[in-house]
Every structure is written in structure tokens, then in C-alpha cells.
Amino acid sequence: MNNYFYVYITSFLISIVLLVFFIPLFRKIKFSQSVRKEGPTSHYTKSGTPTMGGIFIILSTIFSYLIYFTKDDSFNLNKLILLLFPIVSFGLIGFLDDGLIIIKKNNNGIKPNTKLFLQIVFAFLYAILYIKTVGNTNIRIFKQNFDIKWLYIFLVVLMLVSSSNAVNLSDGLDGLASGLTIIVLLGVFVLGYYKDSNVSSFAISLVGGIIGFLCYNFHPAKLFMGDVGSLAIGASIASMFILLKMEILLLIFGFVFIVETLSVIIQVAYFKKTKGKRLFLMTPIHHHFELKGLKEWQIDLIFWIVAIVMGTIGIYLGYKFY
């Protein structure tokens, strides 16, 4: 347990120290957020807030994990690669997207189709790497194992792409995505504690990095995560459920993210079917509640409570059926 504490506190401190130095620098060189015109008008005041804070979450996570757990007897090189690949590759996609937004001074980064294509490519490479190194193509549902063979590749691609985009969609209010991902990752840590120390240590390292970032991301945010953070964290969460062989539980732990994503899909479908009408005031659904009059911290709290409830259910199911 001491090692877990050390890896957490190291990641947290690295994140804090980096952000203390780089936030003023990012503000000075105008590494700032461009708020989309379609968003709530109350968000216009956030324009100019530094972004790409996810870079420091990634760096603090990787450094703290490598410092402690390469010395651990249970350290597994294959799992190290599988844990680092999503956070680096999807973080790179987000970095390119954020970079273009900063350069263009608007909210148009990588074209959506290009971004999705890159996500699918990296997710496919991860799936192939997983098959080559781990090779377990079983999925477990209520104590029953089902070998889906080559279809497992498509499941892995779906999990990484959907999870990264879902976290990205939820990153619309100060502290919302940070808090939600911390809750999910703490659940992963608990599930992995007796099952896989490589995964649990990486999860708690990521928690430390995000909590350090959250110190500056509470409303009013002094720094935004950016796509570099949300895409990387979302893909990493999916990869950890894959390595724990608890793929189905991602649906439970990611319940809030799923609701956020479905709200967008339903809104678009309803808009097209009714030729211009909207079911929600704005999506993702956290903006709907915001336009209903709730404050950002109130929405955060409600969503976090739901995430805690679903995470508790997920932990129970994990210990009962896996």
C-alpha cells in the first residue's frame, strides 16, 4: 500500500509544480481557449483561459508510474506498453487538435472525420498489440466467459474510441470531467488492487495527476484540460478495463459519460427528424441543466454523486462476478 501512496503523491506533486510554472507561461504566450459560439453565453467570459493542461496530467502520470513500479516485482513490460500507448497516442491527437485551435484562434481544430480516423487507427494498433502480447479474447458476463476471437479487436476499438470521445464531451464545465474521471479511476484502483498491481498503480498515478490539475480547474477555472487531456484519459480508462478483463463494467462506471454522449446523439436525431426542433436546450446535457439555471458547481456535484453511486455498483459487481 505504501508504494501506491508514494506513486499517488509523486504524481500529484509533479502535476502541481508543473502547473505553478506553466500556467503563467501559457497565459503569457496566449495558449488560450477559444469558446465555441454555440455554447452558453455565460461561457464567453472563459475565452482566453489557458488550455492544454492535460499535458501535465500525462507527464506526471507517466513519470510517477515509472519511478516506482519499474522496481516492483510484479512489474510487467507488456502491460507497461499497453498502459502507456493509449495515454500517449490519444494525447497526441488531442495535442494536435488543441494546437490548431490555438493557432487559428477559433474552436476549429482537426476536422472531425480526421480526428475519428486517427482515433480508430491508434485503437486498432492497440488492439493488435494486445492480441500479440496478452492474447486473451474472452469477455466475462456474470461469471460466464465467452471467447469472441477476432471480434475482440472491434470491441477494443469501440471501447477506446467511445470512451475517449465520451470524456471529451463531458469536459464542458469547470471541474466536471476531472471529478468524474477521478471517481472512475478510484474504482479501477479498488478493482485492480488484488487483481493487477500494474493497472491499479497506473490508475492511482493518473488520479494524482488529475487531482493536481483539479486544484486549478475548479470554478472559475484557471486552466482547461483540453482535448490532449480528455482524449488521453478516456482512452486510458478503457484500456485499464480491458487489461483487468472487466470490459462490460466500463458501461457501469462510465454511466454519466454514456448519458452525456447519448444526449448529443438524441438531440441530433430529434433535430433532423423534426426539422429544427430541440429536445434539450443544449447538449451535452450538462449545458441543458446550466441553461435551466443551475450553477456549474451544482451540476458538477449532481453528476459526481451519480458517478459515485454507479462506481459503487461497479465495484460490487466486479468483486461478485470477476
Residue 264 binned pLDDT confidence (cut-offs 50, 70, 90): very high
Q: Give this prediction's pTM.
A: 0.94
Q: Give CA–CA dist 198/191, Å, rounded.
A: 12
Domains in the chain, number? 1
pLDDT of 38: 58
73-107 confidence digits (pLDDT tens): 667 889 999 999 999 999 999 999 998 888 877 67
pLDDT of 108: 75
Residue 50 falls within a domain, yes or no? yes
pLDDT of 171 strictly over 80? yes
Burial of 188 (0-12, 13-18, 19+ CB in 10 A): buried
Contacts 24+ apart (CB under 8 A), 108-117: 109/227, 116/161
What is the C-alpha end-to-end distance of the chain, expressed in Å? 22
Joined grid coordinates for residue 320? 461478485
pLDDT of 59 strictly over 90? yes
Residue 244 falls within a domain, yes or no? yes
Residue 199 falls within a domain, yes or no? yes
125-167 confidence digits (pLDDT tens): 999 999 999 989 999 998 899 999 999 999 999 999 999 999 9
pLDDT of 77: 86
pLDDT of 73: 67
SS3 46: helix
Average pLDDT over residues 303-310: 98
Residue 57 falls within a domain, yes or no? yes
Q: Which residue has the higher pLDDT, 181 or 33?
A: 181
Share of the chain above pLDDT 70, in %: 92
Residue 293 falls within a domain, yes or no? no
User: Residue 87 sits in which domain range?
Assistant: 2-248
Residue 185 binned pLDDT confidence (cut-offs 50, 70, 90): very high
Residue 305 falls within a domain, yes or no? no
SS3 140: strand
Buried b or exposed e, range 265-300, using 16+ CB within 10 angstroms: eebeeeeeeeeeeeebebbbbbbbbbeeeeebeebb
Quote the radius of gyration of the chain (alpha carbons, Å).
19
Residue 267 falls within a domain, yes or no? no
pLDDT of 69: 76
Q: Give CA–CA dist 165/167, Å, rounded.
A: 6
Residue 271 falls within a domain, yes or no? no
pLDDT of 62 strictly over 70? yes
Report DSSP state, residue 33: -
Q: Give CA–CA dist 188/181, Å, rounded.
A: 10
188-238 confidence digits (pLDDT tens): 999 999 899 899 999 999 999 999 999 999 888 889 999 999 999 999 999
pLDDT of 43: 61
Q: Give CA–CA dist 266/220, Å, rounded.
A: 30
